[in-house]
Amino acid sequence: MSRTDDLFALFGKGVSRDPEGRNARLHFFGTIPFDDGTRVNKKDSSRFSANAPYAHEHLQPFDASVPRPAVVALVSVNGGVGRSTLVTALSSGLQRLGESVVALDLDPQNALRQHFGVDHELPGIGRSSLVNVNWQTLLQTGFAGCQVVPFGDIDMRQQENLQRWMAREPNWLAQHVSALGLSERDTVIIDTPAGNNVYLHQALNVADHVVVVLGPDAACLGTLDQMDALLAPYLGRECAPRCHFVINQLDEHSAFNLDMVDAFKQRLDENLLEIVHRDPSISEALAFSTDPLDNLARSSASEDIHELCQLLRASRNARATAAL
Ligand SMILES: Nc1ncnc2c1ncn2[C@@H]1O[C@H](COP(=O)(O)OP(=O)(O)O)[C@@H](O)[C@H]1O
Ligand SMILES: [Mg+2]
């Protein structure tokens, strides 16, 4: 357990569940020396053979015509706006609507695992992608029946190697998502780090729906031009992703917050603008790694998240119909 988990344990709050098989997988991965980006010989396991393929080369070439899950990417230029929180809430919400959801952490901060109460020592995509590991083996139990793929702990050198690889192979994420073996009826919701980085571009490259998360403040309003520039190449594609903007953590009692919403409405297409209200039970859910939707009954935030889920579901259905 992490030190934070220890602290919660002091308060008598259990923060990690251990569904069947988790410890067994941890034990299994614990015996594998994580790769540092050097070449790996799959036949004799010698890690330093000059002619051996890279660990990543087990991935099949990306075939865009193969049926694959709908992919939603939550992105922002500014940090702390609620990307991970909304990935968690939307995964639970969509799953409650009968969808089949995988929440995927593509942020080396490895914070999504805390939202879902997944032990930080469990392996995630960061280190596992440097060796020959299919992401299917990393799936953990989330809320309401959804699944979670954590990023996992990673050191700076491994992170640099991973990022170099991602910069070289734009379809890296698309390949890994397709290797998850999901169908077009499934939805993958991706959490990304704030700002302009390789993780964001990998997510935008594979996304069918982009959700730009904003705070009701001048900092986020001031970065909309940057976000436009980041999205432009992807929105200009033939099969462009749909895109929505969500102002998260709106306080209806704050005149300033409401003024900011008006300012966003002047700058953005109102039809593409959604609101999620601030609700203390959402931040409490993070503190105790519980499902944020469990304590949100009949609140504004609950209605907002439900509406967003409906919107994503409609988008997924429209995509499926267009593919017929
Ligand atoms: N709608 C909301 N109401 C109340 N608190 C929220 C809401 N959305 C996010 N938060 C809180 O804001 C903080 C930052 O959220 P987080 O999801 O970690 O941001 P990000 O992933 O964008 O860095 C967390 O403490 C989270 O609980
Ligand atoms: Mg986050």
Q: Where are the domains of the chain?
A: 3-323
Residue 194 CA to residue 75 CA, distance in Å, equals 7
pTM for the predicted model, two decimal places = 0.85
Which ligand neighbours the alpha carbon of 85 most closely?
1
Phi/psi of residue 103, each to 5°? -90, 130
CATH fold label, 3-323: Rossmann fold (3.40.50)
**Contact between 121 and 77 (Cβ < 8 Å):** no
Q: 46 CA distance to ligand 2 centroid (A)?
A: 37
**Mean per-residue pLDDT, 211-240:** 97
- Pinpoint the alpha helices (H) of 109-223: 112-116, 125-128, 156-168, 172-179, 198-206, 218-221
26 has pLDDT over 50:
no
Better pLDDT: 98 or 44:
98
E runs forming strands in the chain: 70-75, 100-105, 140-141, 147-149, 186-191, 209-214, 242-250, 273-277
Predicted pLDDT of residue 321: 83
Q: Which two tokens stand for residue 127?
A: 């280190």
Q: Is 284 in the pocket of ligand 1 (CB under 6 A)?
A: no
pLDDT of 210 higher than 90 = yes
Calculate the alpha carbon distances from 137 to 182, 185, 258 in Å.
13, 20, 45
Q: What is the pLDDT of residue 14?
A: 47
> Which residue has the CA at smallest separation from atom 25 of ligand 1?
283
- CA 86 / ligand 1 centre spacing (Å): 8
CA distance linking residue 278 with residue 243, whole number of Å? 22
The response to whether residue 80 sits with its C-beta less than 6 Å from ligand 1 reads: yes
61 — pLDDT class (breaks 50, 70, 90): low
